[in-house]
Structure 1
Amino acid sequence: MERGARLSSSTSPLAEHHDLVLLDLDGVVYVGPDAVPHAVEAIQQVGDSVAYLTNNATRPAADVAEHLRSFGLSLTDEAVVTAGQVVADLVLAEVGAGAPVLLAGADGMRVALEHVGLRVVTSLEDDPRAVVQGGVIDVRWSELAEASYAIAAGVPWFASNPDLTFPTPRGLAPGNGAMVDAVALATGTRPVVAGKPERPIYDEARRRTGAASPIMVGDRPDTDIDGAIGADIESLVVLTGVSSLSDVMGLPEGSRPGFVATDLRGLHEVHPPVEVADGRATCGEAVAELRNGEIMVSGAEERSVPALRAAVALAWDTRDRGAYLSTLDVRMDA
């Protein structure tokens, strides 16, 4: 079965089917300084077969690892793979060690570039060999303008990631992708991207770990899930970050996760197969039915894995058949 088309299933707890769990960070493991509820316990239950993939290039990998250790998690710095590290490697391969690189980004991106031997500059007059965007903290208009001048002059352009937003304790804030789009509007071109949904960050995680059968867990279908599908990696979407259940139910064929759960506890649950026929989906004890354009779920707790799977599978089937679906919300049948 082609990835991205329909839900997969597991006969035992999901994590047991994979030799590595790849975790997105913002919205999955933490939001700002705080751990997502149940995340730490679920990760500890997985053990050592965990790597952390983040598109956020604002902080160096070592700082991210220390943040995770502050929650009581055990990991090495190498377990954190940032889009900043990966884009630095791409730039190094393009221009060579010691080359000047114009950065419009955060200190974490600067650290990654300097770590691989590149020289960070701030102006087109410094004759940069590449332009890099990564991280959004304290990025100034003047940096975006200088990057635009260099790109318009033909300097190769790289970006850590395309995320338009990232979650903070106060809500969604503009992400690196928003800054990239501003420069794209000024230059009429697009950068080479290292982070999700592009393959390089997944390939780096596999290189570091030697994993043969990983699963990617994320909260953003457009980066985490699309990237996993493109890298032929199984995927689980959780509802603790950017995406809501209605967002997942509305995903088109080709962009759908293999699994869905409320939070990381879903890694330790069985995900029963779903049977869909005649406007009805059954998953374990959960039954989802289409009534007057609405999906009604009964027989299971509202946010249980079977209830989510039944609702999502029925929504996808209904949309694929072109049948009437008045809302992507789910109602529980008392």
Structure 2
Amino acid sequence: MSNGARSAGAQSLVSAFDLVLLDLDGVVYLGDRVVPAAVESLGQVRDLGVAVQFVTNNARRTAGEVAERLRKLGVDAAGDEVVTSAQGAAGLLAQRYPAGSRVLVVGSSALAGEVRGAGLVPTDTAGERPVAVVQGYAPELGWPQLAEAAVAIRNGADWIATNLDATLPSERGPLPGNGSLVAAVAATLGRQPDLVVGKPEPELFELAVRRSAARRPLVVGDRLDTDIEGANRAGLPSLAVLTGVTTPAELIAAPPQVRPSYVAADLSGLVAPRREPVSDDAGVRVGGWQVRYAGGAVELTATDADPGAGIDALTALCAAVWRTGLPVRAGDRSAATVLAELGLNG
């Protein structure tokens, strides 16, 4: 697993891969603010010759609009490097229904545009008897659009959701996401969508990999239940960063299906000198941190006066807890301090 240093080189994590598949919200930006270290780190990734694809569950914007937004934040990006759940949903609809079929779009103009570009006819009313309802996030959505969706689905239309993310990360904390809006319709109908396109389903990752013809892709995300589970479903290695919704406590407690391959504080973990956990029957060591199996717990201690970043301690703890399921405790004052900083008991 990775630490949070900021120098690129042959021993960096990303040097083992030829493509990085990046989530956006909570990884590259939070609302209208770029995440610290993102611009510098992604520039170093490109300098190392590794391709980049931005893969987002958010269906609010077109790929071109997403790329333009990234560029305004200082992140190098092109439209053909962006994969959105709106694109995935439109492609799925085009496979399932004849050209010219009407689809009720509950979402943004970008989602409607993708549906139209796939040869289908967007509509905003159940009265036109659409064959399907596609639902994606848009901040302007309200009761009238949700009501039309409920009526159309009750009348027999298939129901496709671009994603089920309950929240959107923001600089003000988590805000309601598409999953919360889907839940309103689900509560009305007493059922769930027929299909979900976005992560943790593997389709968006598979589309991005096909575009790049990559052989060694790495998924990077902040959400265990979408980005990391999606990577695991697609059979891809993953890096979890702590700049979005996932906390250290949630990471340590993660069940197997949502455990990442690597952990980093932020995107600098892609280009930092790589520190692998050293494990044996007695415990795990990463950098200047040692975790021992002792007295029915995993006990964290510092092995020198300056043990290094807390992300190294978290990496060691994840490896130990995932192996044993034991609770965490501090073995010295340095460990107690870093556990408190990570929001962990100790």
TM-score, normalized by the shorter chain, greater than 0.5: yes
Partner of 2:105: 103
1:72 — aligned with what? 74
Following superposition, the deviation at residue 145 of structure 1 comes to 1.6
Matched, 1:303 2:307: no
Separation in 1, partners of 2:338, 2:77: 43
Correspondence for 2:322 among 300, 316, 330: 316
Conserved 8 A contact 1:296-1:332: no
Q: TM-score, normalised by structure 2?
A: 0.86
The percent identity for this pair of structures is 39
Structure 1: 5+ residue stretches without partners: 1-6
1:295 Cα deviation from its structure 2 partner: 4.6
1:298–1:332 contact (8 Å) kept in structure 2? no
How much has 1:188 moved relative to structure 2? Answer: 2.8
Alignment of 1:97-136 (within 5 A): 97-136=99-138
Counterpart of 2:253 in structure 1 is 250
Is residue 39–residue 263 contact of structure 1 (8 Å, CA) maintained in 2? yes
Distance 1:8 1:234, change over 3 A: farther
Shift of 1:181: 1.6
Task: Look up the equivalent residue of 1:220 and give its one-letter code.
Answer: R
> 1:200: Cα distance to partner?
1.1
In the alignment, structure 1 residue 207 sits paired with structure 2 residue 213:
no
Q: What is the distance in 2 between the residues matched to 1:20 and 1:59?
A: 23
Q: Deviations over 1:43-69 (max 9, x none)?
A: 010116100000011111111100111
Secondary structure of residue in 1 paired with 2:245: coil
Tell me, in whole angstroms, the C-alpha distance in 1 between the residues paired with 2:205 and 2:329. Answer: 37
Contact 1:276–1:313, Cα closer than 8 Å, also in 2: no
Q: For 2:275, give the aligned amino acid.
A: H
Task: Give me the whole-angstrom Cα distance separating, in 1, the residues matched to 2:314 and 2:278.
Answer: 11
2:269 corresponds to which letter in structure 1? G
- Gapped regions of structure 2 (runs ≥ 5): 4-9, 340-346
Aligned length: 320
Which residue is 2:55 aligned to?
Answer: 53
Alignment of 1:77-226 (within 5 A): 77-191=79-193, 192-226=195-229
Contact 1:61-1:80 within 8 A present in 2 as well: yes
Confirm or deny: 8 A CA contact 2:240 2:260 kept in the other structure: yes
Q: Tell me, what secondary structure is at the counterpart of 1:26?
A: coil
Check whether the contact 2:287–2:308 (CA below 8 A) recurs between aligned residues. Answer: no
Q: Deviations over 1:165-185 (max 9, x none)?
A: 011121110100111122122
Q: Is the 8 A contact 1:274 1:309 kept in 2?
A: no
Per the TM alignment, residue 273 of structure 1 is displaced from its structure 2 partner at its CA by 3.0
1:290 CA displacement:
5.9
CA distance in 2, matches of 1:108, 1:52: 17
Q: TM-score, normalised by structure 1?
A: 0.89
